[in-house]
Amino acid sequence: ARIEEAQEIWKTRVEIARAQWHDRLKLNAEQATLFDDAVNTMNEKLYYTAQDFADLLASSDSLTPEDTTRAINDMTTVLTETYSDFHEIFEDGQRDEVAMIELTDFIDPGVAEPLIAVQDKLENAALRRPPRGAVR
């Protein structure tokens, strides 16, 4: 229910951010479509990245620091690829502006849906971690 509520808020937030960026970048119709397609592709890839992480959690008894680092790497790779997609869409004069886009404004909270099924494992993994500075 919280994800659905967040998605409704997100839709409004995205529409505002999208309109602001379309105006700020002075996008033509083709660029606007490509911009929206890049955002949609980013969300789709993030969903599948979350699904892969959820599958790992479901099949594992514990979450290692390596697992977490790899999951974060997978997510940031998607964001980096989206910036690359944007740079292919826009002209040189727009690229400095594109670098200022905060992609998290465009992340659909629904990409986290796969994690709902393993939420207890995710919470337990966070609780099992040693405190910072603790010697193992």
Q: Any residues with CB less than 8 A from the CB of 117 and at least 6 apart, and which?
A: 54, 58
Q: Please choose, from the candidates 97, 102, 114, the residue with its C-alpha nearest in 3D space to the C-alpha of residue 44.
A: 114
The predicted structure's pLDDT at residue 113: 87
The predicted structure's pLDDT at residue 16: 92
| Residue with token string 């977490």 | 68
The predicted structure's pLDDT at residue 103: 95
pLDDT, mean of each 10-residue run, the chain (136 residues): 74 89 92 95 97 92 88 96 94 87 90 85 61 56
